[in-house]
Amino acid sequence: MTERARAAYEHNGHPVSREAFYAIACDPTRSVAVEACAGAGKTWMLVSRMLRALLDGCAPHEILAITFTKKAAGEMRQRLQEWLEQFSHKPLDELTVELIARGISPQGSLEKREALQNLYRHLLEAGRPVQIRTFHSWFAALLGTAPLALLQQQGLPAHFELLEDDAEAVREVWPPFLQTVAESASLRADYEAVVARHGRSQTHKALAAALAKRVEFDLADAAGVVDASVPPFQLAYPDLAAFAEPAEALQTEACLQRWRSRASALGSEANKTPQKAADAIIDALACADVNQRLDMLRKAMFVAKEDRLSKNLEKFPAAQEAEPELQRLLVARRQHEAWQHQQRMARLARGLIAQFVVVKQQHGWVDMNDVERTALVMLADPVLSGWVQERLDARIRHLLVDEFQDTNPLQWQALHAWLSGYAGSGGGSAAPSVFIVGDPKQSIYRFRRAEPQVFIAAQAFVRDG
């Protein structure tokens, strides 16, 4: 659902009436992804689906509603409780109106209104309530059912304290990490090189960002993505592959001969500008440090801070010939510097994340990243996922996720793995209906790794799956 000038309500891109929209959104037999702005009645739709599922004979504990905060879960629980209590006292005619508003046909409303009136009592008698939970509490419940071997495989203690806020652990990791850096010659060299170029504050800020995304970093690292994300200059410039860094090309006899010839040609010009450039080239070629040599050639030929010939050299053939070669070496060096920085930061990030694991193990802590990652492993495994459901003693028939735009990629991967498993079940296990609602423009939990693109992926899954 989007607020557009041409239509307030849409279904698969086509305008529909308000009544038709809510009839689709509230139907528990359909899987639906609703994009709705603030004030559009998202919670109303979500709780209405719960009501209709219960009226269709679903047991309360077979409904799982997930949201992101304890406050939101409490509000949802309260809304359901208040409606059930109110409906238990309302006259049947008013209940007919309530049911029609939730997408049930007039005839169907007449048939179900007495059931709605009695629903409050039936739920009290059921003993087990509708599952309205936060993502973290549901994942934590899954972790509580995990086999000991899986916990060991994930590096988690059998007896742990769950950290809903990892700020204390993050504070504790820095002193031992910096001590490790100081004691390791290679890590110290990486750290000093990055700090020298970008400053201590920016270096620590970048490492803190990697720590916050540690699960994604580890998964990407295991897949080889981290090391491959910035290619070395040799891939783009295979003719420079023999050199450890691009500026070393300036040491070859052929290259030295080209630059001496250019210096000679520029020095023979009557104008002082090319003569000065020729003298600067000779000085550069005498420099032993190849990177300093490249900098001196750049200064001799190019506009300050730009990779192009200075205006006063543009008309001289020797300078014109030198320009593309010099530009190429400068671009290759920038690529090499980017690769070096990325490799250094990756090594430092690995060290920081590894130290974070040690700190948590020392305290017996498990954080929400551990919970989400273990949940993904459990739900993605066809054997474990069935075992999880058996241990939880609940078959989920209806899954509802509120404020879906605040879902992070790992949470969605876990849900996706679980729901996708039904496709290969051979019909032995019925997939739950899925209802997700949110507004991708309103993600407020980016600091929790929420990614609005996940909403778009989930919409496609619901539509196509």
Residue 393 has pLDDT above 90, yes or no: no
Residue with more model confidence, 461 or 7: 461
The answer as to whether 157 is a domain residue is no
Shared-domain flag, residues 201 and 337? yes
Residue 430 included in any domain: yes
Are 356 and 337 in a shared domain? yes
Residue 4 lies in a domain: no
How many domains are there within the chain?
Answer: 2
- Label residues 106-145 b or e (16+ Cβ within 10 Å = b): eeebeebbeebbebbeebeeeeeebbbbbbbbbbbbbbee
Residue 247 identity: A
Phi, psi (deg, nearest 5) at residue 65: -110, 130
Residue where one domain finishes, among candidates 297, 332, 363: 363
Do 139 and 258 have their domain in common? no
pLDDT tens-digit map of 172-209 = 999 999 999 999 999 999 999 999 999 999 999 999 99
pTM score, two decimals?
0.69
Residue bearing tokens 């490790």: 180
CATH number of domain containing 379: 3.40.50.300
Residue at which a domain ends, from 330, 348, 363: 363
Residue 63 forms part of a structural domain? yes
Domain match, 350 and 397 both: no
Task: Write out pLDDT tens, residues 224-241.
Answer: 999 999 999 999 999 999
Clarify whether residues 359 and 372 are in a common domain: no
**Residues 137, 173 within the same domain:** no
Whether residue 447 is contained in a domain is answered as yes
pLDDT value of position 444: 47
20 & 115 share domain: yes
On whether both 350 and 379 belong to a single domain, the answer is no
One domain, residues 133 and 187: no
Are the C-beta atoms of 341 and 192 separated by less than 8 Å?
no
Whether 344 and 206 have beta carbons less than 8 Å apart is answered as no
Domain of 392 in residue numbering reads as: 10-145+367-464
- The stretch 20-38 carries a mean pLDDT of 87
Position 210 scores a pLDDT of 95
Structure confidence at residue 291 as a pLDDT band (50, 70, 90):
very high
**Both 281 and 189 in a single domain?**
yes
Is residue 22 within 8 A of residue 46, CB to CB? The reply is no
Which letter, b or e, does each residue of 235-260 get, where b requires 16 or more Cβ atoms within 10 Å of its Cβ? eebeebeebebbbbbbeeeeeeebbe
Domain contains 154: no
pLDDT confidence bin for 452, thresholds 50/70/90: low
Residue where one domain finishes, among candidates 312, 329, 363: 363
How far is Cα of residue 174 from the mean position of the Cα atoms in its chain? Answer: 24
Mean pLDDT value across the chain: 87
Same domain, 325 and 376: no
Of 29-38, 288-297, 322-331, which gets the smallest average pLDDT?
29-38
Q: pLDDT digits over 347-387, tens only?
A: 999 999 999 999 999 999 988 888 888 888 888 877 777 67
- Pair 109, 100: CB distance under 8 Å: yes
Same domain for 172 and 278? Answer: yes
> Is position 158 within any domain?
no
Q: Is residue 330 part of a domain?
A: yes
Query: Mind listing the pLDDT tens digit for each residue in 409-446?
Result: 778 887 887 777 665 444 445 778 999 888 766 654 44
Q: Note the pLDDT of residue 103.
A: 92
